[in-house]
Amino acid sequence: MAGPSPKGLATVGPGIGHNAGPALDPGHRGRTIAWTHARAALLPHLAVEVVRLRVKRAQELGLPYRTYAGIRASTGHDLIGFLFSSNALRVLRDADALPADRTALLSRLRADRVALAQPRVTTAALARLAVIDAAFAAPATTLSWAATRDHLRGVVRLRGPADRFVIVGDTALERDWVAAVGAAGWVAGDAYFAAAG
């Protein structure tokens, strides 16, 4: 038990369920300002030129700067490529042409462009696309978690560390690939191509 409070009442430390956040007693505003300044001091300060280079790199990757900066902060390094599901590319059958918005972005993308063919699409059909660097079969939906991880590791192992790739997909199953392989992140196909277009 701590000493008496200003009103003569004994005070006890935070109880169960208390998150030890700032108190709401007198002086709260000053402590909040001090806490905000202390927290800001923990964040890295980047030189203006570094920020400019990172903004340019985000544009080259077709990502909003905030998304790129968040991925960069969480992984500690730059991205080298993307894994695009054939669903996100809007190639649902071998005969489908890559839509113009996808072609335009992929042609100016400054990163490795890897396509993962879902059922009804062959890797040969995706590999024929001029804007794709490599094509592989997507993990089958019947695979276990470990088998999905191993399949995706086999894909990225040829190209670089998994945490330097972002997965662009359309389904919840494709979103799960991020955790399975340890990718840097996931972006919905329509959101990625709309933001970059």
Say which CATH number the domain at 121 has: 3.40.50
Quote the CA–CA distance of 106 and 193 in Å, as a whole number.
Answer: 9
Considering the domain boundaries, does residue 24 fall inside one? no
Q: pLDDT, tens digit, for every residue of 1-44?
A: 445 545 544 555 566 666 666 566 788 788 888 888 877 776 66
Q: Is residue 156 part of a domain?
A: yes
2 or 147, higher pLDDT: 147
Q: How far is it between the farthest Cα atoms of the chain?
A: 81
CA gap 62, 166 in Å, rounded: 11
Residue 151 lies in a domain: yes
Strand partners, 112: 81
Given a cut of 90, is residue 165 above it in pLDDT? yes
Decide if pLDDT at 65 tops 50. Answer: yes
Task: Measure the N-to-C terminal CA separation of the chain; round to a whole number of Å.
Answer: 61
Is residue 10 in a domain?
no
Could you tell me if residue 85 is inside a domain?
Answer: yes
Q: Is residue 30 part of a domain?
A: no
Residue 128, domain member (yes or no): yes
The length of the chain in residues reads: 197
The strand pair at 165-169 and 134-137 is best described as unpaired
pLDDT of the residue at 41: 73
pLDDT in tens, 111-122: 999 999 999 999
Any residues with CB less than 8 A from the CB of 134 and at least 6 apart, and which?
A: 112, 113, 114, 115, 127, 158, 159
Residue 69 lies in a domain: yes
Give which of 62, 115, 123, 59 is closest to 88, Cα–Cα. 115
Mean pLDDT of all residues belonging to the chain: 86
Q: How far apart are CA 109 and CA 196, in angstroms?
A: 10
Q: Please report the pLDDT score of residue 116 as a whole number.
A: 96
For the chain, where are the alpha helices, taking DSSP H only? 28-42, 48-61, 65-75, 86-89, 100-108, 123-127, 145-157, 172-181, 189-196
Number of domains in the chain: 1
pLDDT at position 36: 81
Show the domain range for 57: 48-196
pTM of the model: 0.74
